[in-house]
Amino acid sequence: LERVAVPLRDIFAAFFFLNFGLALHINEFGSVILVVLAAVVMTFVLNLISGMLLARLHSMGISEGLNAAAILVNRGEFTL
C-alpha cells in the first residue's frame, strides 16, 4: 500500500500547488498586503507570548520560552 500511495500523494501534492499558484492574481496582491503583514506580525507576537507563557508555566527560562515560540511558528505547506 505504501509503495503505491506515497508516489500518488507526491504527484497530487504537486498538482495542488501548481493549481494554487496558477489561481493567484498578482494584480490583487496590493489590496491585501496590509492585512497579510498584520497577520504575520500578529502570528510572531502571539507565538512569542505563548512560548514564554508555556515556559513560565513549566518553570523554565527565557531560552526555553524562545525555543517553544520557534516551534509554534507555522512552516510548510500545511500553513495554507
Q: Give the whole-angstrom CA distance, residue 77 versus residue 32.
A: 20
Other Cβ atoms less than 10 A from the Cβ of 56: the count is 13
C-alpha cell at 69: 515560540
Average pLDDT over residues 2-31: 87
Q: Give the whole-angstrom CA distance, residue 58 versus residue 67.
A: 13
In the chain, where are the structural domains located?
A: 2-74
Per the document, the length of the chain is: 80
C-alpha cell at 53: 507563557
pLDDT tens digits for 39-80? 889 888 888 898 899 888 999 988 888 888 888 776 655 555
Answer yes or no: is pLDDT of 10 > 60.
Answer: yes
Quick one: pLDDT at residue 38?
93
Quick one: pLDDT at residue 34?
93
Q: Give the whole-angstrom CA distance, residue 74 versus residue 39.
A: 12
Answer yes or no: is pLDDT of 20 > 60.
Answer: yes
